[in-house]
Amino acid sequence: MATDSALRREARSWYEATWDPERPTGEWYRSMTEERWAYPTWPERWWGRALTTPQARIVREERQRAGALGPPSGIGPTLLAPMLFEHGTDDQCGRFLWGMAAEGWVFCQMLSEPEAGSDLANVQTIAEPDGDEWRVSGSKVWTSNADVVDYGMLLARTDPGAPKHHGLTFFLIARDQPGVDVRPLRQMTGDARFNQVFFDRARVLAGDRLGADGEGWGVTRTFLAHEKNSYNPAAHEGGPFGRVDLDRPAGETLERLRQHRTAASAGRGVGRLLTDLVARSGRGDDPLVRQDLARLWSERQLMTQTNRRSGTAAPSPRAVGPISKLTVSELTRGQRDTGLAVQGPWGALVGDDAWSPAFQYFALNSPSLSIAGGTDEIQRNHLAERALGLPRDPGPP
């Protein structure tokens, strides 16, 4: 394995020689993938270099130094890729890894159901064999970006007579087809970022089943382990989320990404917004407010240090995800409560009447952080039962 200094020289040389903002975005994606720079922690046989997390950080630094566009981000590289490495066939890895890395394919999760809540195994959506295909009927809910994705990561019941956690199978289902109806869900923020998806005998090719028939719960647990771990250092390589125009010059795609992030930082940089609210309220010397701010600062520093050390001194894999998820939820609630408290009665206002419309948006959206990906209560059960080995909660009488 090359030394870090040699790796840095190689990455710097490649990006300086190859990056051209006039190249089409799709051509740039393909170049990064073919030369194994897009996702360098991926296995070598799947367009990666099998680098460690610190080494991948070196590659990212050199890409940023060259001012080059990063590879696609999102649920595909974050969640589907590690699932494919563990459960996928060679054909699936070849198609879907190349699709997400070089062709910008977009994915969403289709696990939650209207009647199941956090009980993901209580699946009612049915997949029935139909020759060399499967036919899916049922409904999924809280599916972010389901209206624009190429594929959904779907958990369906293939054996209705089996116990709850058995008889489930995991599929990758094409979204743009007859029998798939996506309907937006309006949130209290005014956005419609989530959707409910209805299936009416939608097709899934036999080769798009991930894992064995009836073993979908094991595949889902791999998904959940990565979804809960917000410290996952391989989660984001800095490129665009969602669908992009592959014919657009890569430099233009990068500039749009920068503008979006600048706007997001200006509108939702929660730490800065909270500091501004405290200053406006004149309560910066209040001992209770200062105590809250110190606690929040400590929690942010803890998250940052954990992120930097991830992969070298991480705790048990069973504990990392729930701890990460709970820490994010706790920090979010603390920021929300402190920001609303220092505003006094003005904290009840939203929109243009509010001191900070962006912070009020964050406050309205904050409950979703403790629900999405499994509620805080579910995370504590995971920690207690699976990481610490404590007895399970007693069931109903």
Distance in angstroms (rounded) separating the CA atoms of residues 102 and 153: 19
215 is catalytic: no
Is-contact 97 42, C-beta < 8 A? yes
Distance in angstroms (rounded) separating the CA atoms of residues 350 and 348: 7
Is-contact 156 121, C-beta < 8 A? no
DSSP string, 27-56: HHHHHHHHTT-SSTTS-GGGT-----HHHH
Catalytic: which of 227, 237, 330, 377? 227
What is the SS3 assignment for 65-127?
Answer: HCCCCCCCCCHHHHHHHHHHHHHCCHHHHHHHHHHHHHCCCCEEEECCCCCCCCCCCCCCCEE
Q: Quick one: DSSP state of residue 19?
A: -
Mapped onto helix, strand or coil, the DSSP state of residue 395 is: coil
State how beta strands 133-141 and 180-185 pair. Answer: unpaired
Distance in angstroms (rounded) separating the CA atoms of residues 230 and 253: 26
Nearest alpha carbon to residue 170 among 64, 67, 238, 96? 96
- What angle, 0 to 180 degrees and rounded to 10, lies between the N-to-C axes of helices 317-343 and 287-309? 150
Distance in angstroms (rounded) separating the CA atoms of residues 247 and 376: 42
Is-contact 293 337, C-beta < 8 A? no
> H or E stretch including 255?
helix 250-268
CA dihedral 266, 267, 273, 277 (to 10 degrees): 120
Enzyme catalytic residues: 227
